[in-house]
């Protein structure tokens, strides 16, 4: 039996050119052509502030080299995907990371970098689409995340998708709200819909 990465053992397998469809977005594997948009978004002070991350100051040439390595040799405990509109416009990214096989859980993150798509339901569709994908195709039983306490827009989005607060934390002078969604919670919200759709076929 070949050795499998931990993420693959949990069901996170390469999409190999296929995409995950939502109602407004599609999620696909990252590719090298994403590099300029990702560099611009990570160099944007406002986006960095929303992500509680330092603004990128690395020269593009160095960033490109690191990016190429990450694309060709992805880390086993991360599952990064690009977010596109249905017509193929790259507008952001989402990632499951800190994938823990023993606990059956992963941390989730999302960024809509293109401001033209803010407040239009794209973020909610990304979260819903990724949550469905995780609980339908992997062995994870819990997704969790952290969001800045003042980022009410993000919190409303996550709550709309079923995440509930379970605590808070402080880091580097910032306060974060911790939120989670467990498989059993997701099933209560969505399995009846699935059964109903199957019975109508």
CA distance 119 to 130: 19
pTM of the predicted structure, to 2 decimals: 0.87
Residue 8 covered by a domain? no
Question: Does 141 have pLDDT greater than 90?
Answer: yes
pLDDT of residue 201: 40
Residue 124 tokens, joined:
């909610």
Residue 175 covered by a domain? yes
- DSSP strand pairing (174-182 vs 142-148): antiparallel
Q: Yes or no: say if 6 and 76 are a contact pair by the CB < 8 Å rule.
A: yes
Residue 11 covered by a domain? no
Residue 6 covered by a domain? no
Residue 193 tokens, joined:
């819909």
Pick left, alpha or beta for residue 3 (phi over 0 → left; psi -120 to 50 → alpha; otherwise beta): beta
pLDDT of residue 101: 84
CA distance 34 to 42: 12
Residue 9 covered by a domain? no
User: How many other β-carbons are positioned within 10 Å of the β-carbon of residue 117?
Assistant: 18
CATH for 46: 3.40.630.30
Give me the number of domains the chain comprises: 1
Return mean pLDDT, the chain: 90
Q: Yes or no: say if 105 and 166 are a contact pair by the CB < 8 Å rule.
A: no
Q: Yes or no: say if 83 and 27 are a contact pair by the CB < 8 Å rule.
A: yes
pLDDT of residue 10: 59
Domain that holds residue 91: 18-199
pLDDT of residue 11: 65
Residue 99 covered by a domain? yes
Residue 200 tokens, joined:
């109508």
Residue 2 covered by a domain? no
pLDDT digits (tens, 9 = 90+) for 61-96: 999 999 999 998 877 789 999 999 999 999 999 999
Q: Yes or no: say if 71 and 32 are a contact pair by the CB < 8 Å rule.
A: yes
Task: Check the CA dihedral 167-131-96-100 and report its sign.
Answer: positive
């Amino acid at each position: 039996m070949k050795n499998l990465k931990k993420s693959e053992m949990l069901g996170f397998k390469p999409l190999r050119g296929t995409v995950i469809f939502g109602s407004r977005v599609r999620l696909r594997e990252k590719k090298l052509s994403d590099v300029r948009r990702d560099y611009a978004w990570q160099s944007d002070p406002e986006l960095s502030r929303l992500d509680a991350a330092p603004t990128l100051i690395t020269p593009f040439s160095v960033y490109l080299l690191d990016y190429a390595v990450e694309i060709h040799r992805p880390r086993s405990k991360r599952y990064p995907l690009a977010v596109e509109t249905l017509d193929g416009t790259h507008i952001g990214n989402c990632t499951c990371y800190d994938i823990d096989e023993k606990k059956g859980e992963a941390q989730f993150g999302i960024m809509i970098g293109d401001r033209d798509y803010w407040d239009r339901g794209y973020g909610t569709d990304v979260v819903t689409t990724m949550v469905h994908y995780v609980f339908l195709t992997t062995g994870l039983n819990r997704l969790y995340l952290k969001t800045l306490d003042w980022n009410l827009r993000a919190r409303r989005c996550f709550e709309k998708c079923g995440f509930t607060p379970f605590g808070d934390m402080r880091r580097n002078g910032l306060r974060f709200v911790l939120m989670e969604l467990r498989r059993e919670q997701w099933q209560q919200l969505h399995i009846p819909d699935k059964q109903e759709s199957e019975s109508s076929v």
